[in-house]
A and B are shown apart, each in its own frame.
Chain A
Amino acid sequence: MLSSISKKLGPNGQRVAILLLVLVAIALFFSSQIQNYLTPRLFVRISTSVSIIALISVGQAVVVMTRNIDLSIGSVVGCTAYFLGGILASFPDLAPVFVVLLAMGIGACFGLVNGLLVSRLNLPSIIVTLATLALFRSILVESSDGSSITTGSLPIWLIEFARQNMFVVGGFKVRWMVVIALFVVFSMHFFLTKFRAGRQFYAVGSNPDAAEFSGINLKRTVLQAFLISGALAGLAGFMFLARFGNITVVAGQGLELKSVGAVVVGGVNIFGGSGSIIGVLLGATLIDLIDTSLVRWELVSEFWREAILGLLILFAVAMDTLLARRLLGGRKPNPSDKEPEKTKLASGRVKESST
């Protein structure tokens, strides 16, 4: 019976189903450990905080699908939030819509730098973005001249935006931030699955040679992936500014780890070519739920939280993989199991063909 269900769902559907089960299991576990856990408040906490991480993770997912990775994303969020805050302090009358577009524009500029370095110079993205992670942060530290952005210097609408609800049902506050993030996530899902321009990212990641033969411009697609990642990180930077208000030069630090975590837990193949955006959303939710809950768990001291978070992420990934295998049970070792080797070969070839 399981196998018939799994066939109907397809691999991405299975992944989503498993993630939902794990989410429920973890929520139930913590509700047995923590008093007053399953409340509308928890929903508000998680949904608001996920809305920022989900945006970043979706951008990361698009990059990962093309066999690349964007480690600079935390610095991009921090820089965008900081620079946008600086601009708003000087020009408080800018129209909100323009401010959002500006944020995405700033983020996209950072994405452009990454994208050009990776696609035009054929440098490995893990090195490029590791370098720009440090570089963008240093630019921020240098240009900030030691000062931080404070709520006092920001327009009221922005500060209020973080707490404005679209609607409230019995204590479940649905914030505008959440609605916007979900809109972006589902739009991206739709774009990547239904549009030719979106399918390109999968094609480039699963088989670059075939993609090129079928007329896809590899370099342009990779550049686009980094631009999307940058723009979404920029949008996240806007929300970050609205939510936290006080932006120091450390803003957004560590988000790259969370976004990669969400992408991997969400079932995007780290070697490119497959994965679903809905999975990434659930992956981000899972990581945030664990993170938020651990803070409230009496058994865990402050010093162990990071370690336990890491362990739980590993556990989630391992469980997820095991369950996926079980559900796929009986199937012969499938070609995707050998993906790492293939990837090396294929990416090697990409390099040869382009140099």
Chain B
Amino acid sequence: MKVWKVSTLAVCAALAGSIASAETAIAQKGLEADMVLLPKFLGILPFDQANQGAQEAHEELGNTGDLLYTGPTPENSVAGQIEIMTTSASQKSAAVMLSNNAGEQIVPSAVAAQAAGTKVVTWDSPIPSAKGESLFIAQVDFGEIGVVMADMAHSILDGEGEFATLSATPDASNQNAWIAAMEEALKGPKYAGLKHVDIVYGNDQSEVSYNRALALADKYPNLGLIMSPTSVGIVASAKAIQDEDLCGQIKVSGLGVPAEMVTYTMNGCAPEFALWDFVDLGYLTYYTSYMLATGQIEGEAGETFNAGRMGDYTIEKDPTRDAGLRVLMGPFTVYNKDNVEAAAK
């Protein structure tokens, strides 16, 4: 890990040297570029919100091409994503905006798409090796998510106790990166009283997540918290723990959508959780992809561009991966009793 860190620092330093003071690119509106927004799968709220944001930017930029929101069904996520990637390239789409759920398996089709002239911009979940990817629109810094998760665990457990993680699928590169970042953060002296006992996977299915949460409760009699960095898992865990009258003993936290979590936050089962704005993420992703696809930015480190209502962003080396470039959105909000009701509306 240390070696990796040092090498990252070295690369960053080298890059910093090469970055010229570029001017901010402003989008030229009304160009034609067919865009494809490809979520992990269809059917859950956060991706739908990202689509809202993308549609908003699509209107605003007056793109005369089409914006297609399409994705696989959940059970077919990996194969479906690869297929849609391939189809989009053969239909000469200008850009595919991908929330990658296929790990490295997406690479061949993404590389082929790039070769055919289709830009591949990832958002939400990147391609771990960055092969075939032009840019990654990072919702927040992945390292920072790890710290926030560790902090929420610290505050809910009052600095002392056992907790377990209930993640999405074992292939999900974003969740895996966040959990790794959280474990890194937990090494700090502040978190010495916390014990991370297990990681289980609910496959982003309500019933599987529900049963996994109960299994954690059974397996660890001293468990104080379930940390679930996925919107499906966190709400299923909260329901499971409440159904078993265990809220007094086991709390739930992680990353969730306020509208889905509001009941559990108000009744104390899930006192704190975090999330960023998926509408904004969709907006920024679309804005960046449009400019990239129409040649208004090159997609190189150090480039700065203006993304409409969200302001200026700079493309940078992604410090959380060995390779790849990112645009960092941030920040995110920690929700609790005081602000969740307003956000849920």
Chain B, range 71-110, C-beta contacts under 8 Å to A: 73-75
Q: Mark A137-179, 1 if CB is under 8 A from B, else 0.
A: 1100100111110111000000000110000000000000000
User: A274 in the interface, Cβ–Cβ < 8 Å?
Assistant: no
Q: Is the CB of A250 within 8 A of B215?
A: no
Q: Mark B48-84, 1 if CB is under 8 A from A, else 0.
A: 1001000000000000000000000111000000000
User: A248 in the interface, Cβ–Cβ < 8 Å?
Assistant: yes
Chain A's nearest CB lies how many Å from the CB of B244?
8
Q: Is the CB of A246 within 8 A of B206?
A: yes
One of A92-100, A101-109, A199-207, A237-245 contacting the partner? A237-245
Instruction: Determine the chain B residues whose CB is within 8 A of the CB of A243 once the complex forms.
Output: 207, 210, 243
Q: Is the CB of B48 within 8 A of A145?
A: yes
Of B48, B51, B73, B221, the residue contacting A36 (CB under 8 A) is B221
Chain B, range 234-264, C-beta contacts under 8 Å to A: 235-236, 239, 243-245, 259-260, 262-263
Chain A, range 268-295, C-beta contacts under 8 Å to B: 291-292, 295
Chain B's nearest CB lies how many Å from the CB of A81?
9
Given contacts A145-B48, A248-B232, contact A152 B218 (CB under 8 A): no
User: B156 in the interface, Cβ–Cβ < 8 Å?
Assistant: no
Inter-chain contact total with CB atoms closer than 8 Å: 108
User: B211 in the interface, Cβ–Cβ < 8 Å?
Assistant: yes
Instruction: Determine the chain A residues whose CB is within 8 A of the CB of B344 once the complex forms.
Output: 152
Instruction: Determine the chain B residues whose CB is within 8 A of the CB of A7 once the complex forms.
Output: none
Chain B, range 264-294, C-beta contacts under 8 Å to A: none
Of A36, A144, A162, the residue contacting B43 (CB under 8 A) is A144
Chain B's nearest CB lies how many Å from the CB of A332?
46
Chain A's nearest CB lies how many Å from the CB of B52?
10
One of A41-49, A122-130, A218-226 contacting the partner? A41-49
Q: Is the CB of B170 within 8 A of A246?
A: no
Of B170, B200, B239, the residue contacting A151 (CB under 8 A) is B239
Q: Is the CB of A244 within 8 A of B206?
A: yes
Q: Across the two chains, which residue of chain B brings its CB closest to A298?
A: B219
Given contacts A36-B218, A146-B42, A296-B219, contact A137 B243 (CB under 8 A): no
Of B43, B218, B244, the residue contacting A248 (CB under 8 A) is B43
Which range holds the interface residue count of chain A?
Answer: 35 or more
Given contacts A144-B43, A245-B239, A253-B75, contact A302 B200 (CB under 8 A): yes
How far is A115 from B235 in the complex, measured between Cα atoms in Å?
Answer: 36
Q: Mark A61-81, 1 if CB is under 8 A from B, else 0.
A: 000000000000000000000
How far is A245 from B214 in the complex, measured between Cα atoms in Å?
Answer: 15
How far is A303 from B201 in the complex, measured between Cα atoms in Å?
Answer: 9
User: A23 in the interface, Cβ–Cβ < 8 Å?
Assistant: no
User: B34 in the interface, Cβ–Cβ < 8 Å?
Assistant: no
Q: Is the CB of B215 within 8 A of A141?
A: no
User: B204 in the interface, Cβ–Cβ < 8 Å?
Assistant: yes
Q: Is the CB of B45 within 8 A of A146?
A: yes
Q: Across the two chains, which residue of chain B brings its CB closest to A48?
A: B243
Of A150, A151, A244, A249, the residue contacting B42 (CB under 8 A) is A249
Q: Across the two chains, which residue of chain B brings its CB closest to A137?
A: B73
How far is A240 from B239 in the complex, measured between Cα atoms in Å?
Answer: 13
Q: Across the two chains, which residue of chain B brings its CB closest to A250?
A: B74
How far is A36 from B221 in the complex, measured between Cα atoms in Å?
Answer: 9
Given contacts A148-B45, A163-B243, contact A248 B206 (CB under 8 A): yes
Q: Is the CB of B218 within 8 A of A302?
A: no
Q: Across the two chains, which residue of chain A brings its CB closest to B167?
A: A302
Q: Is the CB of B200 within 8 A of A148?
A: no
Given contacts A147-B48, A246-B232, A295-B200, contact A141 B207 (CB under 8 A): no
User: A251 in the interface, Cβ–Cβ < 8 Å?
Assistant: yes
Q: Across the two chains, which residue of chain A brings its CB closest to B239?
A: A245
User: B47 in the interface, Cβ–Cβ < 8 Å?
Assistant: yes
Instruction: Determine the chain A residues whose CB is within 8 A of the CB of B232 once the complex forms.
Output: 246, 248
Instruction: Determine the chain B residues whose CB is within 8 A of the CB of A145 once the complex forms.
Output: 48
User: Which residues does B use to contact A, with CB under 8 Å?
Assistant: 41-45, 47-48, 51, 73-75, 170, 199-201, 204-207, 210-212, 214-215, 218-219, 221, 232, 235-236, 239, 243-245, 259-260, 262-263, 344
User: Which residues does A use to contact B, with CB under 8 Å?
Assistant: 34, 36, 41-42, 44-45, 49, 137-138, 141, 144-148, 150-152, 162-163, 240, 243-253, 291-292, 295-296, 302-303
Q: 4 closest Cβ contacts across the A-B interface?
A: A249-B43, A146-B48, A295-B215, A250-B74
A42-B218, A246-B232, A248-B204 known; 18 new pairs, CB 8 Å cut-off, are A36-B218, A145-B48, A147-B45, A148-B260, A151-B263, A152-B259, A152-B260, A244-B236, A246-B235, A249-B42, A250-B41, A250-B74, A292-B215, A295-B212, A296-B218, A296-B219, A302-B199, A302-B201
